[in-house]
Amino acid sequence: MSEKVFIIQSSPHFQDKDSVPKIMFTVIFALLPAVVASVYFFRLRAVGLYVSCLVACFATEAIFLWVRKKPFQSLWDGSVVITGLLLAMTLPPTLSLELAVIGSIVAVAIGKQVFGGLGHNIFNPALVGRAFLQTAFPVAMTTWLPPATLAVDTATYATPLGNLKFQEAVVQGTLTPIKQLFWGNSGGCIGETSAIALLLGALLLLTKKTIDWRIPAGILLALTAFTGIFWLAGPDKYASPAFHILAGGLLIGAFYMATDMVTSPIHPKGIWIYALGIGIMVGLVRLFGGFSEGVMYSILFMNTFVPLLNRTFRPRILGERRKIT
């Protein structure tokens, strides 16, 4: 038994002790504060969206694995749960549940399985589902409700960003206060309103090194710089960078969606370009685009560059010499 064996095996030779399920469940755990916050602010509507998205994502994944004759173990690695959770969190509270189910099916089927399952997809699956819903049902996807904690008596309600873009909130002085955005007491997609809850989870992801700090840092930096220039030039017309960071889906996008390992670059240089690109795109869309919010499209747009960035900036191969200059 103690005979020496010469083991020949192919790479990878070094393996991290992290596994796919471990990473995924860390992310799920980090999302929990925001999930709790969304249920607090939007009550049963949030619960309904979570249940329908999770069940539909799970079922779609199972059907695809069965049709493709793939092992069912990937059903339990937690990636489907993240897709379902993130999709539900980026839906407006008024959305009817059958539309949430359609979005979930598209997210898993077209966003992930068509490409070959986990690890092969180009785009963040949850965002694919959301982009589909946004384009398929634009009215339903932009009908908002005030949170249950806010006593506002209106039939229709605008998000802080919608208010900024379409009601000239800065000029009118009706901009949603930063404090309200920080705690989450404002309108929007169910999981994106509470900045504090999202930041709590983000802290866990950063300390555990589950996500690369450069991605959120780059996005926040670029957006701050972009919106900051306009704010300094015309504070009576433009909202402050702090408002732009806390409002809408920026935090959930920067910490939980752009950081998806499959759809973000590997090399630090590529990561910086990717992250700064997202931040600038968000600024461009929010300030000059036709939509009030641009996080989803910015991330999807920069996702398309990931294969190119990975080809341009390759990590140094183990044993390879550094470039002598």
Partner 1 sequence: MSLSARMILVLTLVGLISGGFLAAVATLTKERIALNVQAEIEEAIKEVVDDAAVNQVVHEEEDLLIYRELGEDGELVGFAVQATGVGFQDKITLMFGLDATLTEITGLTIIDQKETPGLGAKIEDWEAFLQFWENRDAAGHLALRKPPASTIDKLLPTEINTITAATISSKKVLGIVNLSLERVRELIKQGKMKPEEKDGN
Partner 2 sequence: MATRSIKAEYLKGLWDENPVFRQLLGMCPTLAVTGTVVTGIAMGLATAFVLILSSIVVASIKKLIPAQVRIASYIVVIASFVTIADQVLKAYFYPISEALGPYVPLIVVNCIILGRQEAFSSKNSVGRSFIDALGMSSGFILALLVLSSIREILGAGTFLGYQVMGAWFKPWIIMILPAGAFITLGILLGIALLIESKTKRS
The residue within the footprint of partner 2, chosen from 39, 62, 140, 262 (CB under 8 A), is 140
- Which CB sits closer to partner 1, 114 or 284? 284
Q: Pick between residue 19 and residue 156 the one whose CB is nearest to partner 1.
A: 156
Is there binding between residue 96 and partner 1 (CB under 8 A)?
Answer: no
Least distance from partner 2 to the Cβ atom of residue 130, Å? 12
* C-alpha dist (Å) from residue 161 to 28, 166, 188, 240: 27, 8, 9, 12
Q: Is 148 exposed, middle or buried (0-12, 13-18, 19+ CB in 10 A)?
A: middle
Q: Which amino acid is at 323?
A: K
Q: How many CB atoms lie within 10 A of CB 4?
A: 5
Which are the contacts of 30, defined by CB distance < 8 A and separation ≥ 6?
A: 201, 202, 204, 205, 210, 256
Stretch that binds partner 1, among 16-24, 93-101, 134-142, 316-324 (CB under 8 A): 134-142
Is 135 a residue that touches partner 2 (CB under 8 A)?
A: yes
Among 74, 94, 142, 180, binds partner 1 (CB under 8 A): 142
- In this structure, which amino acid lies at residue 152? V
Name which position in 19, 96, 156, 312 contacts partner 1 (CB under 8 A).
Answer: 156
Asked if residue 137 binds partner 2 (CB under 8 A), the reply is yes
- The amino acid at residue 285 is V
- Are 193 and 41 contacting, i.e. CB atoms less than 8 angstroms apart? yes
Decide which of partner 2, partner 1, none touches 99; Cβ closer than 5 to 8 Å per partner kind: partner 2
Quick note: the x/- pattern for partner 1 over 287-306, rule CB under 8 A, is: ---x----------------
Q: Which span sits near partner 2 by CB under 8 A: 24-32, 53-61, 135-143, 273-281?
A: 135-143
Candidate segments 86-94, 133-141, 176-184, 256-264, binder of partner 2 by CB under 8 A: 133-141
- Single out the residue of 28, 55, 99, 122 in contact with partner 2 (rule: CB under 8 A): 99
Residue 166 binds partner 1, judged by CB under 8 A = yes
- Backbone φ and ψ for 157, nearest 5 degrees, come out as -145, 135
Contact 81, 28 (CB under 8 A): yes
Q: Using alpha carbons only, what angle is made at residue 107 by residues 247 and 269, rounded to the nearest 5 degrees?
A: 60
Nearer to partner 2, 120 or 311 (CB): 120
Looking at beta carbons only, is 96 or 156 nearer to partner 1? 156
Q: 223: how many CB neighbours lie within 10 A of its CB? A: 25
By beta-carbon proximity to partner 2, the closer residue of 138 and 307 is: 138
Query: Which of partner 1, partner 2, none does 290 bind, CB closer than 5 to 8 A by kind?
Result: partner 1
Q: How far is the CB of 139 from partner 1 (least distance, A)?
A: 5
One-character DSSP codes across 15-65: --S--HHHHHHHHHHHHHHHHHHHHHHHHHHHHHHHHHHHHHHHHHHHHHH
| Site for partner 2, rule CB under 8 A | 99, 102, 110, 114, 132, 135-138, 140
